[in-house]
Amino acid sequence: MNPQRLHSFTLLLVPLFLLAALFAGCSSNVSQNSNSHSKTLTFSWSEDIGNLNPHTYLPNQFFTQAMVYESLVAYGEGGKIEPWLAEKWEMSPDGKEYLFHLRKDIKFSDGSTFNAAVVKKNFDAVLGNAKEHEWLELINQIKSTEVVDEFRFKMILKNSYYPALQELTLIRPLRFLGEAAFPDNGKTFEGIKKPIGTGPWVLSEYKRGEFATFTRNDLYWGTKPKINKIVVKVIPDGEARVLAFENKEIDLIFGNGLISQDSFKFLKDTGNYETHLSEPTSTRIVQLNSNRGATKDLKVRMAIQHAFNKQAVIDRVFYGLEKKSDTLFSTNFPYSDVHVKPYEYDVERAKQLLDEAGWKEVPGKEFREKDGKPLELQLLFISTHNIQKAVAEVIQGDLRKVGINVKLTGQEEEAHWKTAFQGEFELLFNESWGAPYDPHSYVSAMSKAAEQGNTDYLIQLGLPMKKDMDQKIGKVLLSTDENVRRALYADILTTLHEQAVYLPISYQSNMAVYHKNVSGVNFMPQPYEVPFTTIDVQ
């Protein structure tokens, strides 16, 4: 997430020869839909789209991976699991075996057949790099896979795992790359030859850091998109994005954090454009590192919770467009309706807690000290994320009032996560992952170190009950007793709240702003997708 930053995703460096092959291969598709009646939608994003590898994470962007690659099953409205590349499936009585019946009419964008053999090849590639994906418990639970016949594929688990189908809907890493795109050694984590998927779009032109052009996949098995071409322009700055939109250089702004709430309100108030907010998708949070600096102390973490005026941020920065959150997950998510006492805004209580922690006010000095050292905290944020930057400045001001010096560090996305995965922060912006991840996938990842880093795991390392909590997480994911599962989730979420390692701010939504000649813009069940297949341009 932003989710971009979510899942503690790792940066994968693609060898230069493979990167060259990847985008050399794109040129063959440039003329696929070139005609005088073609419809083009111009979109923008804050970062480069990455190398479009379906099995890896940053610098890849969710929405572009979802344009090219598809899953066996889909996450539908209301969380319903729907057929997709698999037309149906059967589960064994013990919940350990899944038999998928694949559709027989599907071709990859290069014309090759989608079948059980290529499904297994993709599973094998992901499982061959399992350490990279250990945050996703399904990967840890897969015992073996099997080609039953040309269009039937079997997945065998070590244990009954209740979120298995939900995790098969995810945008990464279990989506499918065409045979011809695999490197000769089959190790996709080292790079791919070119992006070949079954999805509705094909990457046809690309210039790193500037733009990417996608054309409609005329071999697509599903409903064809109404438009022929999508141009994704890289515009890091939110205000520059608004200006480009007003100048009609882009047709659509869609997502979270691409423009400020102030800009959204401005564009809405003009009445010249279509503007919409989705239902809440996830929780905007700040992570408090229990394993570094002053935030090792529970009383300091609690003081920060009380010192931050959430409602003022919602009123003045978000213009009331987001609802205040007091818990890590919205109570409408499964197993998340946990009754805990919120940390109310209370400056005097914050000061009292800091006094108790030994951080004392010093006459003539603005910031508290302990053993001669000032109370300083590092807050990391993504420099191109307009909302994070605005909220960071409020946090800095609020904590200054109680004697805490917050140093703001803004970096572009890849550098930001590299710093974060090394644990070099006391405070870090993040968010829950939303559907279909919350709460099971997010909670699962808390117990995994991950090969290249995992901030949820890192921030909890200083908790005295960390080992015990990780064991409970393991139990809740494999529990087949609904009552036991509910009790374990309540225990885990209550502990996290009481230990104050997550500062929930608000329930965030996706923004959509577009010109009046654009139609068919809707919000998807997975908040990281953009509805390009339903959009039309007049």
Instruction: Render pLDDT for 15-71 as a digit per residue (tens, 0 to 9).
Output: 433 444 444 444 433 333 334 468 999 999 999 999 999 999 989 999 999 999 999
Residue 451: pLDDT band with limits 50, 70, 90: low
Region 107-111: mean pLDDT is 98
Q: How far apart are CA 501 and CA 446, in angstroms?
A: 12
Which amino acid is present at 384? T
Between CA 228 and CA 536 the distance in angstroms is 10
Q: Write down the mean pLDDT value for the chain.
A: 92
Verify cis geometry, omega within 30 degrees of 0, for the bond prior to 436: yes
Give dist(CA 179, CA 196) in Å, integer: 8
d(CA 122, CA 117): 9
Q: Who's near 417: CB < 8 A, 6+ residues apart? A: 5, 8, 9, 11, 58, 453
Q: Model confidence at 257, in pLDDT bands (50, 70, 90)?
A: confident
Instruction: Calculate mean pLDDT across residues 110-124.
Output: 98
- Binned at pLDDT 50, 70 and 90, residue 79 comes out as confident
Q: Check residue 78 and give its pLDDT.
A: 85
Provide the β-strand partners of residue 14: none
| Candidate from 123-127, 286-290, 440-444, 496-500 with smallest mean pLDDT | 440-444
Q: What are phi and psi of 227, to 5 degrees?
A: -105, 160
More confident residue, 5 or 41: 41
Distance from C-alpha of 221 to C-alpha of 19, rounded to nearest angstrom: 28
- The crossing angle, in degrees rounded to 10, of helices 298-307 and 386-400 is 110
Give the number of other CB atoms < 10 A from CB of residue 273.
16
What is the helix, strand, coil percentage profile of the chain, to 5? Answer: 35, 20, 45
Provide the angle, in degrees to the nearest 10, between the axes of the packed helices 261-270 and 238-246: 10
The answer on pLDDT for 5 being more than 50 is no
Q: How far apart are CA 71 and CA 123, in angstroms?
A: 12
- pLDDT recorded at residue 244: 98
Bridge partners of 514, per DSSP, are: 252, 274
Per-residue pLDDT at 7 exceeds 90: no
Say what the alpha-carbon torsion angle 393, 395, 401, 405 is, to the nearest 10 degrees.
-80
Strands 427-431, 97-102: pairing is: unpaired
Q: Report the DSSP beta bridge partners of residue 156.
A: 97, 144
CB 264 within 8 A of CB 275: yes
Instruction: Please answer whether residues 47 and 224 qualify as being in contact, where contact means their C-beta atoms are separated by less than 8 angstroms.
Output: no
